[in-house]
Amino acid sequence: MNSYATLTHYLAHYASTSPAKVVFVYLDEEEANTCSITYAELNERVTELARHLAGRGLGSQRAMLLYAEGLDFIVAFLACLRASVTAVPMFLPRGSKHMARLTTIISDSQSSAILTSGKYLSRIQTGLPELAMPVLATDEPLEAVAFQERAPALDTAANTIAFIQYTSGSTGRPKGVMVSHQNLLHNELLIQQAFGCDEDSIIGSWLPFYHDMGLIGNILHTVFTGGRGVLMSPFYFLQKPQRWLQAISDYRVTHSGGPNFAFDLCVDRVDAAEVSTLDLSCWKVAYNGSEPVRAATLARFRAHFRAAGFQSNAFFPCYGLAEATLLVSGAKTNPEYRTLAVDGDQLPANQLCLLDPAEPSARILVASGRVADGMHVRILDATTQQEAGELKIGEICIAGDSTSAGYWNLDNERIAFRSDDTQRYFKTGDLGFFHQRDLYITGRLKELLIIRGKNYYPYDIEFSAGTAHEAVEKNGVAAFAVEIAGAEELVVLAELKRQHARTADTRPIIKAIEHKVLDETGLRPYDVVLVPPLSIPRTSSGKLQRVQCAQNYHQNYLTALTQARETAVLDTADYLLRLSKAQQEGTAESIQHYLKMVLASKLQHCPADQISGTQELTSLGIDSLRSMEIVNTLNRELSLQLDATQLFQINTVEELAEKIELSLWLNSKQENGKEIIL
């Protein structure tokens, strides 16, 4: 096939050569409902919307995309590319707590319009009352504007910015990675060469549409290769992980994957009976990236799903980042992924010592494959800034046509790049080394946290925690990740001010920190530890030593005044009593008592007797993963069919109890076997 200048050229090509072929199937959260679109239909909708955007004079401007996962987002994103509008894909805000970050990004990106769906129009307009730009519902009839009968010509320059990918960040200035059309198509070609996708491939994904892996590696790669995509929302997957695997089985998906935690979740949540219904023999490439790849996870998944036909040679560990558009390494030369046993005690000091895998201190590292053709990677010694040799850990620096020119509106030469005689390298901040040409990732130079596939900057979390409560020393907070049960989790260490160090009841301080961090970063801490003044390790210049903090936490060397994970104890007998009363009586009062026990068991830091009926659910620190666990428990123990997305639409514990009471009453009154879905 010819090489085209933009992705919409590829769409137009397949709309011409395979007009009736289904390009996307979206599995709706209503279980039985699906929607699909062909290449011809997609091209027609994209062209129509592109005309409208061009007619509004948005060409060469920026437009923010605020959509739930679904076909409307895909149409809008591709229409922006078609009309030379720079797309700024973002998460759809769930409530007022996300509006502040959104406002900052709207201002930083200098967006001229917001594109969304009709059902979210009022939410956005209400949440952003000062917005001085049009908000367009692209799934509804658009008002007439003066525009040419023909769509904008497909003559966009390769170096024009196609879209801006904002990285995680909240209290600090958000960073928008500029991705040009050349960056995008170059990386799509690298992905195709590494993954082996073609027109017969079926790509399955549950990843967020606005996230680089979900957007570039799945949605746009489907269009690039002329294949078919089977998509679902992250909520749909997290609520019941078996749905992802069932979709792979039913639709004969060939390429699919996600962060390491997704594979662990499937092992933990898909039982033997469900495994017996699956046929995963079609799964050719099971990529694992976006967070550290763990050998134990791959082994568990392989063993758990071997009976379903899953082949271990499908595993495809890879490494990438938004600044490289997406993929950096992952090309395979062997059927099986490679591993290397090193001394885990020496890794925090960036020292490599090869060991026998059976040694007690051995840590098994998984190779992220060979560097993709067309990308250049150097490992630079963090101290000397000279290129490190084989089996020497250093900072990973990348170059190539996929590498972004930098961040929107920032001094990129100062913060991000290093030049040599022939190349301009982007400094990733990630640490790694080469062994037999395979790239291994060992950590992060500046303690960037990667939790459940998403990046978090520790200084953002520290700022949130330091301003959460008057008792906390504002500049005495350290945020770091620790490994708990094979997964990365966030721990916040906070110094109390001297006058508050003897506070008897520290639970309000811990809760304030948890809530503030969750509200401003979207991440709920695994643990919050309160320590005396001046007890967090620092360098001679006063810089926090986060790695040392993590080691002290892991080895129980902290002088803790109190910590979140020691403040809640669940009485199992009381829990079962409350459950029995809720099942038998079905009153709002009995359900509320039971509901408090469920929340306490899932949140761990908050005793049931400290939860009030009028308390807002968002104030309890419920993130998306915890919401799935809570809803699954309620559905299982009370025989309900609650939808996890409704949890974010209910304000208080009291209201949720009333909702459950109504559901139980309706279930008892149902006639003729009719199902009642809330």
- Give strand pairing partners of 538: 544
Q: For 147, what's the count of Cα atoms within 13 Å in the CB-facing half-sphere? A: 21
The answer to whether 430 touches 395, Cβ cutoff 8 Å, is: yes
Judged by average pLDDT, the poorest of 72-81, 244-253, 299-308, 491-500 is: 491-500
Q: Of residues 539 and 632, which shows the higher confidence score?
A: 632
Q: Of residues 145 and 558, which shows the higher confidence score?
A: 558
Q: Of residues 46 and 484, which shows the higher confidence score?
A: 46
* CATH class of this structure's domain 320-444: mainly beta
318 vs 330: CA distance, rounded Å: 4
504 has pLDDT over 90: no
* DSSP state, residue 86: E
Q: Of residues 383 and 35, which shows the higher confidence score?
A: 35
What is the per-residue pLDDT across 436-460, written as a single tens digit (0 to 9) for each? 999 999 887 766 688 877 767 787 7
Domain 457-566 has CATH 2.30.130.10: no
460 vs 468: CA distance, rounded Å: 13
pLDDT category of residue 616 using cuts at 50, 70 and 90: confident
Asked whether the CA dihedral 243, 246, 251, 255 is positive or negative, the reply is positive
pLDDT category of residue 470 using cuts at 50, 70 and 90: very high
Strands 527-531 and 562-563: antiparallel
* DSSP state, residue 541: T
- For residues 580-596, give the mean pLDDT: 89
Nearest to 240 by CA among 677, 659, 633, 661: 633
- For residues 495-512, give the mean pLDDT: 84
Mean pLDDT score of the chain = 86
Nearest to 466 by CA among 394, 379, 415, 528: 528
Phi, psi of 50, deg, nearest 5: -60, -40
Phi, psi of 600, deg, nearest 5: -65, -40
Share of the chain above pLDDT 90, in %: 51
509 has pLDDT over 90: yes
What is the per-residue pLDDT across 636-671, written as a single tens digit (0 to 9) for each? 888 888 876 767 678 788 888 888 888 888 777 654
pLDDT category of residue 11 using cuts at 50, 70 and 90: very high
372 vs 193: CA distance, rounded Å: 8
pLDDT of residue 224: 98
What is the per-residue pLDDT across 222-263, written as a single tens digit (0 to 9) for each? 999 999 999 999 989 988 999 999 999 999 999 999 998 899
The answer to whether 89 touches 115, Cβ cutoff 8 Å, is: no
What is the per-residue pLDDT across 382-396, written as a single tens digit (0 to 9) for each? 778 888 889 999 999
DSSP symbols for 465-486: HHTS-TTEEEEEEEEEEEEETT
Distances (CA, A) of 494 to 400, 457, 460, 558, 652: 42, 17, 14, 11, 29
344 vs 334: CA distance, rounded Å: 26
167 vs 272: CA distance, rounded Å: 38
- In the chain, CATH 2.30.38.10 covers 320-444
Instruction: Find tokens 């700022």 and name the residue.
Output: 463
pLDDT of residue 449: 83
CATH topology of domain 7-234: Rossmann fold (3.40.50)
pLDDT of residue 185: 97
- Look up the CATH architecture of domain 572-669: Orthogonal Bundle (1.10)
- In the chain, CATH 3.40.50.12780 covers 7-234
176 has pLDDT over 80: yes
Sheet holding 202-205, edge to edge: 34-38, 22-27, 228-231, 202-205, 255-258, 285-288, 315-317
444 vs 449: CA distance, rounded Å: 8
